[in-house]
């Protein structure tokens, strides 16, 4: 068995043997080779010496302020610098677009309440028309200052086509 293991093939395995990451048949074969090969025994010792020094290398601790700097950089990237990002813009403008659309529908609905010819989609009907009696358009929720655009959009995006939207704006205003 050990005659088939040349020094050339033994070398990469020596790396593993030296740091204790070699088991089974490969280990048996390598130890057989080592018993008859002084050069490979010297190599194994050299491997051991180097890994002992490297394992004892004093760790370079990250400076205490680094995590805060990374956090600030990420906050800046997803906030202010996000203005340069078209996806960010889309996210911010989507509620505005949705608001304008609904305002148009509400206005159309109010100015022609007697006309049965105007038909709204069921979602708009339950959500917007249901709130109409209190005198404010349902779109008001989009203009509340304490609702972030992302929260509103995520609320809309997360609900499936069959979910009722009635309860969602209330949750989002928290």
Partner 1 sequence: MTETAHDDPDRQLVQQAAAGEREAFDELVRRHQTRTHNFVRAMVSDAGEAEDLTQEIFIRAYRAIGRFRGDSAFRTWLFRIATNAVRTHVVRRSRWRALWHRSSGGEREGDATRGDPPSAEDLESDIVRRDSIDRALATLSEDLRAAVTLRDVEGLEYREIAQVLDIPIGTVESRIFRARQRLRPLLEPLVRAPAAAGGAAGRTNHG
Shortest gap between Cβ of 36 and partner 1 (angstroms)? 20
Could you give the CA distance from residue 30 to residue 43 in angstroms, rounded to a whole number? 13
Dump strand ranges (E) for 50-173.
none
Does 103 bind partner 1 (CB under 8 A)? Our answer is no
Among 37, 43, 106, 152, binds partner 1 (CB under 8 A): 43
Torsion sign (Cα): 111, 112, 113, 119 = negative
Give 106 or 153: the residue with its C-beta nearer to partner 1: 153
Site track for partner 1 across 7-36, x = CB under 8 A = ----xxxxxx-xx-x---------------
- From residue 56, alpha-carbon distances to 4, 21, 52 in Å are 36, 18, 6
| Residue position matching structure tokens 């005198």 | 135
Does 63 bind partner 1 (CB under 8 A)? Our answer is yes
Six-digit token pair at 106?
Answer: 């509400």
Q: Which residues bind partner 1 (CB under 8 A)?
A: 11-16, 18-19, 21, 43, 46-47, 49-63, 66-67, 69-71, 73-75, 77-78
């Amino acid at each position: 068995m050990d005659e088939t293991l040349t020094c050339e093939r033994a070398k990469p395995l020596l790396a593993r043997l030296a740091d204790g990451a070699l088991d089974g048949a490969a280990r048996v074969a390598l130890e057989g080779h080592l018993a008859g090969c002084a050069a490979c025994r010297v190599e194994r010792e050299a491997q051991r010496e180097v890994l002992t020094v490297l394992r004892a290398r004093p760790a370079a601790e990250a400076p205490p302020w680094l995590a805060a700097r990374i956090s600030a950089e990420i906050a800046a990237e997803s906030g202010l610098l996000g203005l340069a990002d078209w996806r960010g813009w889309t996210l911010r403008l989507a509620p505005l677009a949705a608001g304008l659309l609904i305002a148009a529908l509400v206005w159309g609905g109010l100015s022609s309440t007697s006309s049965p010819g105007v038909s709204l989609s069921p979602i708009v009907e339950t959500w917007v028309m249901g709130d109409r009696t209190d005198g404010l358009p349902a779109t008001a929720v989009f203009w509340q200052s304490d609702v972030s655009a992302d929260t509103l959009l995520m609320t809309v995006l997360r609900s499936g086509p069959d979910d009722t939207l009635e309860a969602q704006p209330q949750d989002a205003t928290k």
